[in-house]
C-alpha cells in the first residue's frame, strides 16, 4: 500500500517556504519513529513493535494510520522525494534562465538536502532494495525525475558551450552521486560548516562539467 503525503497524519515536508530553509523534518509521528528505527537498524532489522513504541502508540494504534511496515517505508520515501523535488524545482526556477546559474542552484539544493535531511536521504538510498515491487517503479520515477533535472541543465550548458565536458550525461550523474554521498558522512555540528562545504563542492561540480568561467 502506498501512503501519499496528503493521506499521512500531520503536515508533509514538501510545504516549503524557501528551498534553503531547513528546520526539523515535519513528519507524522509514526514516520518519524520509522525513520529513526530504519536509520539505526535497517528496514529488515526493525519491528513494527519497535516503531510503535518509539511513536508512543500501541501496535493496533500504529496500524490505524499505517497498515504495515511496508506502508511506513513507502510513506516516508514519498515525503522525502516530494520535499527534495519541490526544493530542486524552486531552486532552478529562482535561478533564472542561464545554465550556470541553474546548475549552481540545483547542486546547492541537492547538497543542502543531503546535509539537513541526511537520515531520510540515507534510508532512501539504502532501502530501495526493501521496497515492494508495486511501489518500486514509482519511487524510481521520482529519483529519475531529480536526475533528469540535472541532466537537462548540464546538456543545455554543453550545447551552449559553457560546459566543456565531452561526456555531459556522465558528468551529470557524477555530480549527483557526489551530492548524494554527503548524507553518509556530513555532520552539521562538525568542523566543516555548511556554507564552506557548499563552496568547495560547487567548485568540484563545476570542474566536473568543465566550467571555467
CA dist., res. 178 & res. 111, Å (int): 9
Q: What confidence score (pLDDT) does residue 3 get?
A: 38
How many residues are given for the chain? 213
Q: What confidence score (pLDDT) does residue 11 get?
A: 34
Each residue's pLDDT, cut to its tens digit, for the chain (213 residues) gives 333 333 333 334 455 679 999 988 889 999 999 999 999 999 999 999 999 999 999 999 999 999 999 999 999 999 999 999 999 999 999 999 999 999 999 999 999 999 999 999 999 999 999 999 999 999 999 999 999 999 999 999 999 999 999 999 999 999 999 999 999 999 888 888 899 999 999 999 999 999 987
Q: What confidence score (pLDDT) does residue 66 get?
A: 96
Q: What confidence score (pLDDT) does residue 15 get?
A: 58
Q: What confidence score (pLDDT) does residue 198 get?
A: 96
Q: What confidence score (pLDDT) does residue 143 get?
A: 96
Q: What confidence score (pLDDT) does residue 191 get?
A: 85
Amino acid at each position: 500500500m502506498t501512503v501519499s503525503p496528503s493521506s499521512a497524519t500531520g503536515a508533509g515536508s514538501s510545504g516549503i517556504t524557501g528551498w534553503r530553509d531547513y528546520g526539523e523534518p515535519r513528519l507524522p509521528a509514526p514516520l518519524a519513529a520509522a525513520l529513526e528505527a530504519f536509520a539505526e537498524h535497517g528496514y529488515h532489522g526493525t519491528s513494527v513493535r519497535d516503531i510503535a513504541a518509539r511513536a508512543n502508540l500501541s501496535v493496533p494504534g500504529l496500524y490505524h494510520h499505517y497498515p504495515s511496515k511496508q506502508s511506513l517505508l513507502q510513506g516516508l520515501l514519498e515525503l522525502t522525494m516530494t520535499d527534495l523535488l519541490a526544493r530542486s524545482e524552486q531552486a532552478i526556477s529562482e535561478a533564472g534562465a542561464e545554465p550556470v546559474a541553474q546548475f549552481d542552484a540545483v547542486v546547492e539544493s541537492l547538497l543542502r538536502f543531503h546535509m539537513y535531511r541526511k537520515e531520510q536521504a540515507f534510508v532512501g538510498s539504502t532501502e530501495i532494495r526493501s521496497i515492494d515491487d508495486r511501489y518500486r517503479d514509482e519511487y524510481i520515477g521520482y529519483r529519475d525525475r531529480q536526475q533528469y533535472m540535472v541532466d537537462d541543465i548540464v546538456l543545455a550548458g554543453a550545447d551552449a558551450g559553457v560546459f566543456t565536458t565531452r561526456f555531459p550525461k556522465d558528468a551529470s550523474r557524477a555530480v549527483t552521486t557526489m551530492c548524494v554521498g554527503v548524507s553518509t558522512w556530513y555532520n552539521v555540528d562538525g568542523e566543516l560548516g555548511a556554507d564552506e562545504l557548499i563552496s568547495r563542492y560547487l567548485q568540484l561540480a563545476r570542474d566536473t562539467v568543465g566550467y571555467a568561467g
